[in-house]
Amino acid sequence: MRAFVRASLEAELGADVAEAKSGFEALRLLPREAWGLVVVDVNMPDINGLELVSFLRKSDVHRATPVILISTEASATDRRRGLELGADAFLAKPFGTADLAALARRVLGVEP
C-alpha cells in the first residue's frame, strides 16, 4: 500500500515522498522537516491513524499540514472521528492513483 501511495504521489504530483511503516516511524520522521502533505492509514500496527492526526493537530509545527486519512474498512465511525480530529479528507480503500491524486490536489489547493 505504501509503495502504491508513494508511486501515485510521485507520478501524479511530482512529490518528494518519504514512507513510514508505522505510527512510531512517522513520529520519528515528522520533526525532520516541514511536510506538505501527510497521508496516513487508520489502521497501523502501533499508533493508529486517528491518534496521529490528533498528534499532528496538537503540534505547533504540523498544526496546519494537510492530512489525508485512508482506510480499508471504510468504517463510518473511523471516518467521522478522523474528520472531527482535523483530517482534511478521508479516502476508503481500494482507490486508484487518480482518486488519491485528485484528493491530494484538492486538500493542497493546487490545480491539476
Partner 1 sequence: MSDLRDEFLSEAQEIVESLSRDLLLLDQAHKDGSSSQDLVNEVFRAVHTLKGIAGMFGYARLGEVAHALEDLLDDLRLGRQNLTTELLDVLFEGVEVFQRLLAESPDAEVSEVDIVAFLEQLTSVGASRPPVEDALAAYAIDASVLAVLTEYEEHRLRTNVAKGVGLYRLKVRFSLATIDTQLEDLKARAKSIAEIITYLPSASGGDGDAIDLDVLLASSATPATLEDVLGGEGAVLERLTRGTSPVAPVRATEHHALVPPPPVRTPPRPTSAPPAPRMPSEPPLAKREVTADQLSLRSVAHTVRVDIRKLDHLMNVVGELAIVRTAVMRLTEKLRGRPELRQLAIDLHRINRGFERHLEELQDGILDVRMVPLGQTFDRLARIVRQVAREHDKEVALVVTGAETEIDKLIVEELSDPLMHLIRNAIDHGIEPPKTRELAGKPPGGTLVLNAYQKGNHVVIEIEDDGAGINPQVLIETAIRRGIVSEEAAADMGRDEALQLIFLPGFSTRLRASDLSGRGVGMDVVKTNIGRLGGVIDVQSEVGTGTKLTITLPVTLAIISALLVRVAEREYALPITAVQEAIVFDPKRVRRVEGREVVTLRGETLTICRLDELFRVQSKARGRRYLVVVAVGQKRMGLVVDGLEGQQDIVIKALGKSLSRVRGISGATDLGDQRVALVLDAPGLLDEVLSSPERALHEGRR
Per CB under 8 A, does 59 bind partner 1?
yes
Contact predicate 17/10, CB 8 Å: yes
Output the nine-digit C-alpha cell for 69.
486519512
* CA dist., res. 76 & res. 73, Å (int): 9
Strand (E) or helix (H) holding 27? helix 23-29
Q: Which of 48, 89, 101, 107 binds partner 1 (CB under 8 A)?
A: 48
Q: Which of 15, 37, 92, 107 binds partner 1 (CB under 8 A)?
A: 92
Residue 70 DSSP symbol: E
Q: Which of 10, 11, 36, 72 binds partner 1 (CB under 8 A)?
A: 72
By beta-carbon proximity to partner 1, the closer residue of 4 and 35 is 4
* CA dist., res. 24 & res. 99, Å (int): 27
Q: Which of 10, 19, 33, 84 binds partner 1 (CB under 8 A)?
A: 84
User: What are the residues binding partner 1 (CB under 8 A)?
Assistant: 1, 3-4, 23-25, 27-28, 31, 42-43, 46-55, 57-59, 72-79, 81, 84-86, 92-97
